[in-house]
Amino acid sequence: MRRMLPVMMLFMLFGLTACETMAPKPEVLPAGVQLNAKYYTQVTMQYEKGKYRTSNYRRGALLAVNTEVELLGFTRKSITVKLIKQNKELLIENVIKHTGEDPYQAFAKLFAKQPLNLRKFTSAERKKITQAKAAKGMSKDAVLVAIGYPPITRTPTLESDDWTYWSNRFNTFIVYFENGKVSRIKD
């Protein structure tokens, strides 16, 4: 019996791990969200080694706004999508302390059934959006599309006139707004 205990514990651990990665049943998904359906990114994202963290570090490969993805699944901490054109999976790790949201809420901010209409932005804003950069004169909406959502740990509300982002795990930059437009950016 003593010899069997470690083996039984190992099987239990594998069983719990398998439960974590299983896709939810369709009836527990939010209304309108379907597995294996096509969605479009609503913000630019930067990812490394097949993973995007909702902490929103501004480094790695660029995933442009309106990129087509297929929703593959959810866990209680992540979202998995397939980048359709690249035919590769992307894990979106939802860091709750930085978003204040569960994966379903994060999904609703990052993806939609329709491409984002970029014509509502000026040509200068559209150029910066394609470059994944914020710049003086951009609206708050344009900054969100260009560089995504700032972590709530330093920017608890988007009503604030300064949004703090991370360049990487150790460095931040701040986007300052006046009258809803970027007035300056401090590295």
Instruction: Report residue 37 as tokens.
Output: 């359906």
Q: How far is CA 179 from the centre of its chain?
A: 27
Q: What is the pTM of this model?
A: 0.84
**C-alpha–C-alpha distance, residues 133 and 145, integer Å:** 9
Handedness of CA 151, 123, 176, 60 (dihedral sign): positive
Handedness of CA 35, 38, 39, 45 (dihedral sign): positive
In tens digits, what is the pLDDT along the chain, a chain of 187 residues?
Answer: 555 555 455 445 545 444 544 454 545 788 889 999 999 999 999 999 999 999 999 999 999 999 999 999 999 999 999 999 999 999 999 999 999 999 999 999 999 999 999 999 999 999 999 999 999 999 999 999 999 999 999 999 999 999 999 998 899 999 999 999 999 999 9
Q: Residue 68: beta bridge partners? A: 40
Q: Write down the residue that tokens 């009836």 correspond to.
A: 27
